A and B are shown apart, each in its own frame.
Chain A
Amino acid sequence: MDIFIGLATVLSSPALLGWIVSAAVVGMVVGAVPGLTASAAIAMLLPVTFYMDPLAALAFLYVIGKSGRYGGSIAAILFNTPGTAASAATQIDGYPLSQRGLSSKAMKVATVSSVIGDFTGEILLILGVGIIAAIALTLGPPELFAVYFAAFVVIGSVIGKSVVKGLASAALGVLIKMVGTDPISAAERYTFGSYELINGIGLVPLMIGMFVLAEVLSQMETRGAKIEKFDEPDSAEAKARNRLSWAEYKPCIPHVIRSSFIGAFIGMLPGLGSAIAAFVAYGEGKRRAKNPDEWGKGALEGIAAPEAANNAVSGPSMAPLLTLGIPGSTIGAILVGVFLIHGIQIGPTLFLTSRELVYSLFAAGLIGIAAYGLVGYFGASFVGRFIIKIPTDILYPMIFLTSFIAAYASRGSLFDVWVMVAAGVLGWLMKKLEFNPAAFVIAFVLAGGAEETFRQSLLLSDNGLLIFVTRPVALGFLLLGVLTVFIRARSLHREARAQALGDT
């Protein structure tokens, strides 16, 4: 069992353990800061790792990727601002809990679920790296499109009262995503001759504007009004309320297990990534939930499902990366660079030439999960309590400034700051007029990849749309999407009828 040798290697090296623990902390922090994503942090820290021993360098970056995906949930829960796109689904239920003074509990659920999801993914990777790679190879653009399609359905779950306004918000998200270069013909769309727009609108400034700045603007508007005040966060009562009991977590378990496998499967598919996994898991979780009405209003299961899924992506995405050189995410693409810089050739021969290194890396992953789990479980709830203690008239100006810095920092571009401001005003208006910013952002995240894979599929197909029917995995995901829409429509219909009956 190579993994035990790997564990022994890692555990017997204090320096390596030090790197893993610091990666867990660094990842959490960058993940939690909106605008600083784990992949940006890895790109920034990459030059440092040139001078490190290969295993330490890879373990450091690999664990940052893992804990960064988890760290995103902290900001999502506390400020309604996903620290990374992967935690955009977490805020749907995380923020309502925070508003009720239950942020620590929400973060504990996020931590436990992330750890379970991450361990599931990592263990699947260790047991089946060869099989996963073989499966990944058979999946092409049609399968990827089908998964995007299934993920789109989650928009239905975030749409609240007004279906029309929700759909309009999603359509606007798709439209804004169209700005930039056409993925197939490379023609410019909606760029109006500006070279800043050739790359399209950046996700990071858009998210910061939509969620952070818009939130600050809404708070400004209600200034003077009495701010919802939670009882003294240090009081014994508040502490007791934020304690997470087994009875509370038990209903989350089936969601965590299902989402872990959804996440692990999506991890195998190159290029989809954690955000898509979180959306699919949330949509599927809500469909199967016993209490779908509570989802979106602060259900613990609504945090558990996406958090387990977005971390379960991490392990299995390493299989196509290591054996086929297909990076499943930005983080993966950078890791390929690290392998090459240290002279390790990625590809089918990797397990012959560097077997020990690879299993040591997987072992480092396992230890890294435990590290961020422990730091997160005890640390994040402390952060949560601490933040709540800061008066809002100090906290919001700070957040306001941070949003400008974060928008600028992600690419060092002043244009992104303008995008952030515009998105902020748009987000504030949308909230005011009861449109749906979450649906907007989800549509924005999914539209690009969906368009690209859809058009690639059609180019690959001899019979037009039939390519989706003739490939079983693609067909499966498409049916899942259609089924979810159908069930959701029926339940809406039933609710409407029940209401109508109640009125008479």
Chain B
Amino acid sequence: MDRRTFLQTTSLAGIAVAFSSQAMAEWKPRRPLNIIVPYKAGGGTDAYARAISAAAADRLPVPVVVVNKPGASGMTGAIAAASSKPDGNTIMLHSTGSFLLGSMLRDTKVGPFDGFKMIAQVGNLKACIAVPAGSPFKSVQDLVDAAKAAPGKLRWAHTGKGSTYHVSGQTFLNGLGLKAVDVPFKGGSAVRAAVLGEQVDFAVLGVQQGRGFEEKMHRLAVLADARDELAPDVPTFAELGFDIPIVSSPIIVYAPNGVDPEIISGIEAALAEIVAAPEFAKLVNTKGTLPLYRTGADAETAVRAMRESVTPVINALKGN
């Protein structure tokens, strides 16, 4: 941990503790808190829930239980969470990029703004653009030039139509007026394998997938406000002079509609404390990701902004 993060974490923790002692006074959980994760155990989103559970052990009077309900790209678990009893004992943690895009692309019963209230954000998954180590493209500019010279000739891999990384990649291409053939693969590691094996010219995938593969896969740019602390050498698109709307997947904890606002602010305060805990950071770091705390209101603003910026891409996807 460098000095800056250390300062950030400690100051955040200080604020959180001050807050929580007050807010948590009204929230006195008596039964275990169940977090529904709409993905399988062992994945990146699941890791956040497990980290919350581990860090909550010394901080909450009740255990936090992770319940995996995978299926229908995260929709099965979301529907189960939305229809659970709104007593504050059941909440949900979702990778909001795919949740939002899924609800925009399909006619779904629930969505980030539909059936849920955001409690707080605990992390963020960022997209990056990557090429094989032996690729002739050494920078985003090289890639853009090549795509301009031969429209529709380059091939790029992503994690599935309508996924966060597909939409971020398409946003990048649309923003610069480029055309390339997209090849969907199942999941981040399959996309990375396609890059390592030079099956594709480039790929858009989670920046965390590049960790440990720096020699074989070059990440040209990350789609975020600031550089990723675990990949400090990868510049942002903005630094390189590309103005691209940011599409990421915020990891957000939700409560089903109807939960008492006092309970929500109690859990919010508890999450602020948990996210600032060193063991939380340590656990999510093992997956190559970072903690990022935002209040429910701030998270909602950010997700609304993202919905605005992806609407044209989604409409184009729906059209074909």
Q: Which residues of A contact B (CB under 8 A)?
A: 43, 46-47, 50, 137-141, 181, 183-186, 188, 195-196, 198-199, 270-271, 320, 324-327, 333-334, 336-338, 340-343, 345-350, 411-413, 452, 456, 459-460
Contact = CB atoms under 8 A, between A and B. Distances in A.
Nearest to B163: A186
Given A195-B75, A325-B213, 10 more contacts: A47-B50, A140-B199, A270-B190, A324-B192, A326-B192, A333-B189, A340-B287, A347-B212, A349-B212, A460-B200
A198 B73 contact: yes
A62 to B, nearest CB: 15
Contacts of A456: 183-185
19 contacts: A43-B68, A46-B41, A46-B42, A137-B196, A183-B184, A186-B161, A195-B79, A199-B72, A271-B186, A325-B189, A325-B213, A333-B189, A337-B42, A341-B283, A345-B211, A348-B215, A348-B216, A413-B71, A456-B185
B199 A460 contact: yes
A336 B204 CA distance: 21
Contacts of B211: 345, 347
Given A186-B160, A341-B286, A348-B213, A195 B72 contact: yes
Nearest to A337: B42
B155 A183 contact: no
A411 B71 contact: yes
B271 to A, nearest CB: 21
Interface residues of B, number: 48
B286 A198 contact: no
Nearest to B287: A340
Most buried by A among B72, B73, B106: B72
Given A195-B108, A324-B193, A43 B40 contact: yes
A270 B287 CA distance: 21
Contact of A325 (B109, B182, B200, B212): B212
A459 B155 contact: yes
A324 B182 CA distance: 23
Interface in B190-245: 190, 192-194, 196-197, 199-200, 211-213, 215-216
B186 A183 contact: yes
Interface in B107-123: 108-109
B176 interface: no
Contacts of A50: 50
Contact of A43 (B42, B181, B183, B215): B42
Contacts of A141: 199
Interface in B57-81: 66, 68-73, 75-76, 79
Contact of B194 (A140, A186, A320, A349): A140
Contact of A459 (B47, B68, B75, B181): B181
Contacts of B286: 340-343
Contacts of B215: 348
B162 interface: yes
A460 B43 contact: no
A347 B213 contact: yes
A320 B66 CA distance: 30
B158 to A, nearest CB: 11
A348 B42 contact: no
A23 B43 CA distance: 23
